[in-house]
């Protein structure tokens, strides 16, 4: 194994800590996509299946992702000043 500095080892541990949630999220997303394709094959596209509240619930992940990215960008901008 290659010798690493303390800073490199801390960075390695931080990046490796992201692997478990990333793999879990990828597995969840893959499962969801397979279920969507199976449902589409069986029932077709959803016509009048969703109500307004359903569409609002579907937008929540996109809002959270946008806010999270905005926080990271704003934090980097303030640190650069």
Query: What are the pLDDT tens digits along the chain (81 aa)?
Result: 578 899 999 999 999 999 989 999 999 999 999 999 999 999 998 888 899 999 999 999 999 999 999 998 888 777 766
- Give the pLDDT of residue 27: 95
Q: CA dihedral in degrees (24, 25, 27, 29; nearest 10)?
A: 160
Asked if residue 50 lies in contact with residue 42, where contact means CB atoms within 8 angstroms, the answer is no
- Give the pLDDT of residue 1: 58
- d(CA 4, CA 11) in angstroms, rounded, equals 10
- Give the pLDDT of residue 23: 94
pTM above 0.85, yes or no: no
- Give the pLDDT of residue 51: 94
């Amino acid at each position: 194994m290659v010798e690493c500095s303390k800073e490199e080892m801390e960075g390695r541990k931080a990046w490796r800590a992201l692997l478990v949630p990333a793999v879990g999220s990828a597995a969840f997303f893959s499962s969801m996509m397979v279920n969507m394709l199976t449902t589409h094959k069986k029932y077709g596209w959803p016509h009048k299946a969703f109500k307004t509240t359903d569409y609002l619930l579907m937008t929540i992940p996109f809002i959270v992702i946008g806010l999270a990215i905005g926080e990271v960008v704003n934090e980097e901008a303030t640190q650069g000043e």
